[in-house]
Homo-oligomer: A and B are copies of this chain.
């Protein structure tokens, strides 16, 4: 029931996803009287859907703590519980991000060895696609958090982007070893240690994200959130300026007619629906957050991310990686300033 156009885009998205994943089964949580008419038009999907009726739902402006306390019968919580109980393999929601994170963390619990969850997504780059995390789950992170994020991002890139040996970088203000704060420098020391099962490439600067300098870019939730939104804002500015340029003269409008199909391809390449589906990593279960304003195609892509994670054994691979990371002797990170 979450997002701007639920349950419409959720049901239509499931229908698109079923074409891609013909073996999928869906459990849909929400107001049956609103879901049933949508399914009536999609008989193939209807065969694969079980509706679990509930009137209760989490609103977009609900505080996470409030949702956690009072939303036990909400559609969001029941869907998460289905994963916790083993009735479902993964949960996908277009609802309130903070509430989804809080309830998923509570009901699914953290994977042993992970201190904090992270939010990850993938983005277009000059070389293809890259994974960026954390996108805002943790505004303050220490070196250990960043090392765990690096491992989770590595496994995410392997299972969802299908990369065999993803390259991993830490977002920083320069590429030299001495650059940055204690957290990134400490994480770099640990990631360079022998035996770490990660192809660590060192520090990456902001322009390295879109350049595709590495497959996985690791940062704290404050910086990651700002970076993603800055990139979105810049893309919007560029699109706006481009539109204005094409409307500038009769000649330019004429040019637009000829270039139209090429420009449509450009738009498709940067289509945010292609990159829909932020993932909560570090939980003992698969939980994917769709953008609230996406359409059916975007929602289907978010379902696709969840299916890829399940089918390619995301949780099992994280567990294996964590045990390898546990074998690495912890280096003593020298503090940069004296403490008394």
Contact = CB atoms under 8 A, between A and B. Distances in A.
Contact of A252 (B136, B237, B261, B270): B261
Contact of A227 (B179, B206, B211): B206
A173 B210 contact: no
Interface stretch (A108-116, A241-249, A314-322): A241-249
Contact of A208 (B233, B245, B262): B233
Interface in A253-310: 254-263, 265-266, 269-270
Interface residues of A, number: 60
B256 A252 contact: no
A265 B237 contact: no
A207 interface: yes
Nearest to A250: B258
Given A234-B210, A235-B234, A173 B262 contact: no
B262 A252 contact: yes
A116 to B, nearest CB: 15
B258 A232 contact: no
Interface in A165-206: 171, 173, 179-181, 205-206
Given A230-B230, A234-B238, 19 more contacts: A126-B236, A139-B173, A139-B179, A140-B181, A173-B226, A206-B225, A206-B226, A206-B228, A206-B232, A207-B232, A210-B230, A222-B223, A223-B226, A238-B238, A238-B270, A245-B262, A246-B259, A252-B258, A252-B261
Interface of A: 124-126, 136, 139-140, 171, 173, 179-181, 205-211, 219, 221-223, 225-238, 240-242, 244-246, 248-249, 251-252, 254-263, 265-266, 269-270
